[in-house]
Structure 1
Amino acid sequence: MCAWREIEGNLATPRGFRAAAIAAGIKKVAGALDLALIFSDARDTAAAGMFTTNRVAAAPVELSRRHLKETRGWARAVVVNSGNANACTGAEGLRTSEESARAAAKLLGISPRQVLVASTGVIGVPLKLDLILDQLPALSRNLSTESADDVARAIRTTDTFSKSCVLRTEAGVRSVCLAGVAKGAGMIHPRMATMLAFITTDAAVAPTVLRDVLCAAVNESFNHITVDGDTSTNDTVLALASGASGVTVRAGAKSASWFAAGLVELCQTLAKLIVKDGEGASKLVAVEVRGAKTAADADRVARAIANSPLVKTALAGSDPNWGRIMCAAGYSGARFDPAKVDILVNDFFLCRAGLDAGFDDTAARRELDQKHLTIRIDLHQGRAFGRIWTCDLTHDYITINASYRT
């Protein structure tokens, strides 16, 4: 089996899928795409999902969890809207999700339990069911491979660009594709944030296998990003496998590790695009911690640094204030000796063995002016490694979020 390579395409590049998007009037901007439908023509389409760990889960999250449990991992369609999260909307919100699934199922000739639902947008505002029901017939008529391009735009809220990735590889004489779209720019700190991702593949994957590889891929990608430390009520990652390529992925076989590698690559690409588009962000930052005693310690230090407002504002101003990085590591809860810590930005030393490295301030600022940064922390306590992707924190983040609801 060959390596995965990125190609041009959309969610319908994997065989067996069609999709479409439409302006339903959910968003305040007239004519903005805000409702999408993804559909698999394959009768036996495996499905898996990862959802928010926030105890305040939105209605579409509750419904999609239920449907995946009831069908034991089989689904053929996804209805997704942007502009309204349908969260904290009570029994009426759940009814809106249920009726959306029921209407889509009737149009597509499938069971309502085979329809998954997702929403993103303002929390606590009722989602008008009629806006969805009125447009679903047109959406179902417009389903095509070409119209699938519009899905990435339809799920955006404060995103400044659409996020998508398509991978392809060869398995013998056959080819297999993986495709994904995602949205997210703020309220990003997934622990499976507002974050949605939809993945399609034409590989034949059993539901249990798909669930396992998706869980592993999410843990190596979406669960390792943060923009602002807030975990959303609506986080959803859904994967559908049509099997239309004729290539089967079997648990424990080489095909499983090969497929898992492609899925990790796809999810990490989408995850880094989310961070790059963080609300008000100007820099994409990888925080890498090595030399930790345990993987848990490495993760604690990386998350504390990546979520620190003081670190993130220093990065925005290209301020080589490594003391803020050391401070965040210190309150992370990880065990280490501060006198052994090295801190670098890219390959530029700011701190050696817990002390100032005697760097040139102008050179350090020049290094920090780059748009892609890697903050490296070596604890010299062991061999464990951890990485979190984040961004800087600028005044534009306040501007965007001070009036998000209005």
Structure 2
Amino acid sequence: MNLVPVTSDDYRLIAERKLPRALFDYIDGGAYGEVTLRRNVSDFQRFSPRQSVMRDVSGVDTKTTLVGAEANLPVALAPVGMCGMFARRAEAQAKRAADRAGIPFALSTVSICSLEEVATVSDIPFWFQLYMLRDRSVVREMLGRAWSVGVRTLVFTVDLAVVGERYRDTRNGIAGGAGAWGRFRSGLLSYLSHPRWLVDVGIKGKPHLFGNLAEYVPAATSLPEYREWVESQFDPSVTWKDIEWLRGIWNGKLIIKGVLTPEDAESAVQSGADAVVVSNHGGRQLDGVSSSIAALPAIAEHLEGRAEIMMDGGVRSGLDVFRAHALGASGVMIGRPWAYAVAARGETGVLSLMEAFRREMVVAMALSGATSVEGITPDNIQCEV
């Protein structure tokens, strides 16, 4: 089947065909029974746009600002770990696509491409995502490296004190627990059955290391060894006091990603956050928790403009971006959609997907009577019971 991709689901289908099973499942999967993963997507359908016609919508404009920076669309590419395994130097490709689309790109701590490599793409600033590691000297040094390459917006993830149980990764041998035959069958045989991936990414896409961490784990020679080190560095003793310490040493914008309640959003603001991301880590941590879109309205009402609010999890279209904005988010972050797109079609795929998002959002705005992003209000949406 020669599918011409338009939607996130289209790119997902192509990515599933092109990637070895373990890598596709790493993008696609969630924690435990993946209830929250599904809920993130399905709960968007609870919120319907309110059609409003016979308005002058000849000048619909999707431009806005996100955390102080201009953007052509209220969308940022979220940090996605290991993305350089899905396409050759994928993080660099995604940065080029984001630059062309006029939206922010956030680089993951556990990216294949390093801060320094991504910075060579252009002079346009990008965001950097970091965790609170046990070794605070590494945190300080990585912040310094980020600042030196022009990063002025830090996305700090706070919902990874421990790693969620992701059964697909365990079965495929990416996480611990699979037997030797399981690792061989779903690993080696799957990779060998994808010769295009083997050549384009497996051979031409080297080195396959966590570029940001290579100097801190000099003995590591494979991604599993890097993953083991990273997971050993997650610090379950972290509290909001540590975020206050972070705020004291980071002079740029600070986004706290991973809040689902008004209380945690309040703590993030009190600790010095400029913005919060309503997020359940894409359903990859604690299964069964609220979807991000369902948690958004209460947080937006509580903060009442005291900090910028974004959300991620389940966003699959420009219509979803419209819904999120109407419910109180200044913008959204997307992870899986751009990962599917870069795996399927590289830089061109990511850019084409963002163009589709923009077209979908223009239609939603025009048929609800809004001509600007700021003009999208709660009145443009209704909740279906």
Q: Name the one with the larger helix percent.
A: 2
Structure showing greater Rg: 1
Q: Name the one with the larger strand percent.
A: 1
TM-score tier after normalising by the smaller chain length: under 0.3
TM-score, scaled to structure 1: 0.27
TM-score, scaled to structure 2: 0.28
Relative contact order, higher structure (CA 8 A, sep 6+): 2
